[in-house]
Amino acid sequence: MKLGVFLTLFRRHSLEDALAYVARQGVQTVEIATGGYVGNHHLNPSEVLGNREQLMRIKELLTKHGITVSALSCHGNPLHPNSAVAELHHREFEQTILLAKELGVDTVVNFSGCPGESETSQRPVWITCPWPTDFSDTVAWQWEERVLPYWEKMGQFVREQGIKVAVEPHPGFVVYNSETALRLCEAAGDHVGVNFDPSHLFWQGMDPVACIYALQNKIYHFHAKDTAIYPHNNALNGVLDTKSYKDVKHRSWTFRTVGYGHGTEVWKDIVSALRTAGYDGAISIEHEDGLMSVQEGFTKAVRFLQDVLITETSGEMYWA
Tens-place pLDDT, residues 144-156: 999 999 999 999 9
138-195, pLDDT tens digit by residue?
A: 999 999 999 999 999 999 999 999 999 999 999 999 999 999 999 999 999 999 999 9
Are the CB atoms for 208 and 198 separated by under 8 Å? yes
- Give the pLDDT confidence score for residue 314 in this predicted structure: 52
The CATH number of the domain covering residues in 2-314: 3.20.20.150
Question: What's the mean pLDDT when you consider all of the chain?
Answer: 96
Residue 157 DSSP SS3: helix
**CB within 8 Å of 219: residues ≥ 6 apart:** 166, 193, 194, 196, 212, 274, 277, 279
Mean pLDDT of 4-19: 97
Furthest C-alpha separation in the chain: 65
pLDDT in tens, 234-262: 999 999 999 999 999 999 999 999 999 99
* Pairwise CA distance, residues 73 & 223, whole Å: 12
- Torsion over CA: 38, 43, 44, 46 (sign): negative
Give the model's pLDDT for residue 310. Answer: 81
The residues facing 32 across adjacent strands are 72
Nearest partner of 279 among 224, 220, 226, 215, judged by Cα? 220
Stretch 301-315: mean pLDDT: 83
Domain spans, the chain: 2-314
Alpha helices by DSSP H, the chain: 15-24, 45-48, 52-64, 83-103, 133-141, 148-161, 178-188, 198-202, 208-215, 231-237, 264-276, 294-314
287 closest CA partner among 1, 3, 4, 6:
6
65: number of Cβ within 10 Å: 17
The amino acid that residue 309 corresponds to is L
What pLDDT band is residue 317 in, cutting at 50, 70 and 90? very low
User: Looking at residues 63-72, what average pLDDT do you find?
Assistant: 98
Q: What are phi and psi of 193, to 5 degrees?
A: -135, -145
Percent of the chain residues topping a pLDDT of 90: 97
Which residues, in sequence order, are bridge partners of residue 283? 3
pTM comes to 0.96
Q: Using one digit for the tens of pLDDT, what is the confidence trace for 260-299? A: 999 999 999 999 999 999 999 999 999 999 999 999 999 9
| Confidence check: pLDDT of 316 > 80 | no
Task: Give tens-digit pLDDT for 78-132.
Answer: 999 999 999 999 999 999 999 999 999 999 999 999 999 999 999 999 999 999 9
Q: What does residue 262 show for φ and ψ, rounded to 5 degrees?
A: -140, 145
Compute CA distances 165 → 145, 189, 197, whole Å.
Answer: 21, 10, 15
